Chain A
């Protein structure tokens, strides 16, 4: 099967990496020209599925025994003079995750966007255009092997994200966007300053070239400042505590499809940038011995887990609650990275994968509740367990996964994270992780209690189960949550290979 696929696409095997980015990029203006609700949706879905397909092929290609990273020279110019697309297992892995999530989320978009609470009916075209641009931007970030090119696509995806959030019908969405816009722009500027300083000291923008030239400059103050600016800028994008203030509002007031997509993709890609730069460009030695990144990440990660979980407990709007829970979950991933061991990095990557699955499922379930009931505060959720059993069951599985109950993906990544922590003797931090899980039990339980043990509000008593077009994508994700919770081989093997590669420096040519 695999061989057949490879052979069928051999004729343009060389072009695969660039197709991944060119297709969504060119689809966006086409989508603006199509300007029809139904066709736009179909077109966007097709493009996203195609991206997923290509991503899967690429992952197959780089995961083969002894496969070199794929390099593609844009414009035919050799790097570092031209720009290079460079795909190793790390990007291929995140790439497949992002495109898969985007496709699943899109499946439900058409029905979900009929809802007038979510988005004004005449703005659907713009939503799809912005969605495609956002997808293209994220894919561009993942593919590129060039630091400045990364910034360019970061801008594309950020601008598209602002638009997506601002399209929310709730007027507070505009204020949320504005907050995010200011924070995001500061972040992007910091990243640009970092890249600029790097260029000044090395004269190159190519990541592999940078990785070769940086070690001899590790004493330089300019490089130190470049590192600080770059990492702070990206941490704004990951919404690492205390730089997370934009996230809860943005997630809460954006259309739910958008929230699901962003929760599953945008912060993950930003985390990819951190991993790429910390481990590959700057190198483990520089990041963790010369700069105390380890301590910074541990402190911020644990604080983020505890404080964000506490705030989540107090929320009435469930979208906001899950947004705070996202901030806490990001804390886990950063903790994994901060361990600076292969096991820790692997746990972080695994959690990145798993968190996308669970938050995607949760937000989509919320979207379908919003579709039927018209609100997602705790009051609205009363009795949903009876009126919409399938949706709520999906939500429950997602919730259990967040807590980290065995047989769900949440358990797997927390298990590996704890193991990695204990191997390094970080007992205090391990206890904090457990406390974080307990806190998430509280906020998930609050929803479950209201949904199953309280009677529905009188005007919600006759609500029907949500339509199949919404249920199917939700249950695809739920199934993935359970499947990868039981059969953990695929993600575990992949993340293990990736982290070992990054630590051995095999990925560097």
Chain B
């Protein structure tokens, strides 16, 4: 609950900082999906923690205080918030603002920086997400499939929810596609779109049961898609290498550099979207898969530690 509020608040904070794209992601991931995963984890493990000896928490308090004090000490010399002549605004950022449109043809500077200037970083981030997905699959992936009962529908009785969601889900998916392909011009892009798309499917799962959802989207397919997205992103880079230029240099993808940039950005954003959506879905599938197994088999302790460690991994 609190973490959900925290996610929403930090999303608003990002809006204040003029980072609409980040706020978008934070709202979808921090306030939406990670809260959901937290709840699923709680349903597997339990609500209360074992009491720790007091001395440990006291040491922790001292350490946290020192860290906090150091952080505040560091702020004393900071440039003022929003000042135009601060180094962060004057050096690299200034270059982006004056050149991004001309060099990449993308009006949304954030997308230009993320996808083109620092496209290699974004590739790395995508691999981080892929890695998280692989970890979850590696640790929890094998429990599912067998124990899944088709008639296990958690919210069978909520008629209103089911009807409204049936109306909403297509809209959410269309919105996801819009965010995906409109990233060049407005806030949005692969990360956000992937999460929104995954949210639609997760919503469907929650209302109609995992079994029904898995008939459409199997775990194997999700796994394939997760790998596919990364490969798609990498392939763009490899193509530009084969054309004799640097990795991820989109300008050589077409005869006109700006068109090349456009093609490159759209394809890599698509790769990002596919992997993010696939990983989110697979994480949700494996989590609820092991939760349902717990309900049915009540094989008490087995997946609990694993899930705990996993949820942390994902919420990073």
A156 and B128 contacting across the interface, CB-CB below 8 Å: yes
Contact (A33, B227) CB under 8 Å given A77-B116, A178-B309: yes
B305 and A175 contacting across the interface, CB-CB below 8 Å: yes
B248 and A74 contacting across the interface, CB-CB below 8 Å: yes
B78 and A222 contacting across the interface, CB-CB below 8 Å: yes
Within 8 A of B (CB), among A118-174: 120, 122-123, 126-127, 129-130, 133, 136-137, 140, 146, 148-149, 152-153, 155-156, 159-160, 162-163, 166-167, 171, 174
How distant is B194 from chain A, measured CB to nearest CB, in Å?
A: 16
Within 8 A of B (CB), among A200-221: 200-205, 213, 220-221
Say if the beta carbon of B93 comes within 8 Å of chain A: yes
How distant is A52 from chain B, measured CB to nearest CB, in Å?
A: 20
Q: How far is the CA of A32 from the CA of B275 in the complex (A)?
A: 13
B313 and A32 contacting across the interface, CB-CB below 8 Å: no
For residue A83, which residue of chain B has the nearest CB? Answer: B120
Within 8 A of A (CB), among B242-297: 245-251
Contact of A75 among B88, B89, B119 (CB under 8 A): B119
Within 8 A of A (CB), among B148-184: none
Contact (A193, B71) CB under 8 Å given A26-B231, A178-B308, A203-B89: yes
Say if the beta carbon of A72 comes within 8 Å of chain B: yes
B78 and A181 contacting across the interface, CB-CB below 8 Å: no
Instruction: Name the A residues within 8 Å of B135 (CB-CB).
Output: 130, 159-160, 162-163, 166
For residue B248, which residue of chain A has the nearest CB? Answer: A75
Contact (A159, B117) CB under 8 Å given A22-B237, A130-B138, A200-B86: no
Say if the beta carbon of A80 comes within 8 Å of chain B: yes
B91 and A75 contacting across the interface, CB-CB below 8 Å: no
Q: How far is the CA of A183 from the CA of B125 in the complex (A)?
A: 21
How distant is B306 from chain A, measured CB to nearest CB, in Å?
A: 6
B251 and A76 contacting across the interface, CB-CB below 8 Å: yes
Within 8 A of A (CB), among B98-142: 116-121, 123-125, 127-128, 130-132, 134-135, 137-139, 141-142
Say if the beta carbon of B76 comes within 8 Å of chain A: yes
Instruction: Name the A residues within 8 Å of B117 (CB-CB).
Output: 75, 77, 81-82
Q: Which of A56-64, A223-231, A269-277, A287-295 contacts B (4 or more CB under 8 A)?
A: A223-231
Instruction: Name the A residues within 8 Å of B37 (CB-CB).
Output: none
How distant is A84 from chain B, measured CB to nearest CB, in Å?
A: 10
Contact (A162, B313) CB under 8 Å given A32-B134, A83-B121, A199-B88: yes
Instruction: Name the A residues within 8 Å of B51 (CB-CB).
Output: none
Within 8 A of A (CB), among B61-82: 70-71, 73-79
Say if the beta carbon of B298 comes within 8 Å of chain A: no
Contact of B92 among A80, A123, A159, A177 (CB under 8 A): A80
Say if the beta carbon of B241 comes within 8 Å of chain A: yes
A203 and B119 contacting across the interface, CB-CB below 8 Å: no
A126 and B312 contacting across the interface, CB-CB below 8 Å: no
A75 and B78 contacting across the interface, CB-CB below 8 Å: no
- Main secondary structure, interface of B, reads helix
Instruction: Name the A residues within 8 Å of B14 (CB-CB).
Output: none
Instruction: Name the B residues within 8 Å of A228 (CB-CB).
Output: 70
- Main secondary structure, interface of A, reads helix
For A, the interface residue count at a CB cutoff of 8 angstroms equals 70
Say if the beta carbon of A25 comes within 8 Å of chain B: yes
For B, the interface residue count at a CB cutoff of 8 angstroms equals 65
Contact of B142 among A122, A200, A220, A224 (CB under 8 A): A122
Contact (A204, B86) CB under 8 Å given A75-B246, A76-B251, A123-B138: no
Q: How far is the CA of A33 from the CA of B127 in the complex (A)?
A: 15
Instruction: Name the B residues within 8 Å of A225 (CB-CB).
Output: 70-71, 73-74
A174 and B116 contacting across the interface, CB-CB below 8 Å: no
Say if the beta carbon of A197 comes within 8 Å of chain B: yes
Say if the beta carbon of B238 comes within 8 Å of chain A: yes
Say if the beta carbon of B48 comes within 8 Å of chain A: no
B227 and A29 contacting across the interface, CB-CB below 8 Å: yes
Q: How far is the CA of A1 from the CA of B135 in the complex (A)?
A: 43
Q: How far is the CA of A226 from the CA of B231 in the complex (A)?
A: 36
A163 and B91 contacting across the interface, CB-CB below 8 Å: no
Q: How far is the CA of A178 from the CA of B309 in the complex (A)?
A: 5
How distant is B313 from chain A, measured CB to nearest CB, in Å?
A: 6
For residue B302, which residue of chain A has the nearest CB? Answer: A171
Contact (A160, B131) CB under 8 Å given A15-B241, A75-B249: yes
Instruction: Name the A residues within 8 Å of B121 (CB-CB).
Output: 83, 146, 148-149, 152
Most buried by A among B70, B93, B118: B118
Say if the beta carbon of A50 comes within 8 Å of chain B: no
Say if the beta carbon of A18 comes within 8 Å of chain B: yes
Given contacts A130-B138, A181-B309, A204-B92, 16 further A-B contacts (CB under 8 A): A120-B142, A127-B138, A133-B134, A136-B127, A146-B121, A149-B121, A159-B313, A160-B134, A163-B135, A177-B309, A182-B312, A200-B86, A203-B92, A220-B77, A221-B74, A222-B75
Q: What are 21 pairs between A and B in contact, CB < 8 Å?
A: A15-B247, A22-B241, A25-B123, A28-B134, A32-B223, A83-B118, A83-B121, A140-B124, A149-B118, A153-B124, A156-B131, A159-B131, A159-B132, A159-B316, A160-B135, A167-B139, A174-B305, A200-B79, A203-B89, A213-B87, A221-B77
Name B's A-contacting residues (CB within 8 A).
70-71, 73-79, 86-93, 95-96, 116-121, 123-125, 127-128, 130-132, 134-135, 137-139, 141-142, 223-224, 226-228, 230-231, 234, 237-238, 241, 245-251, 305-306, 308-309, 312-313, 316
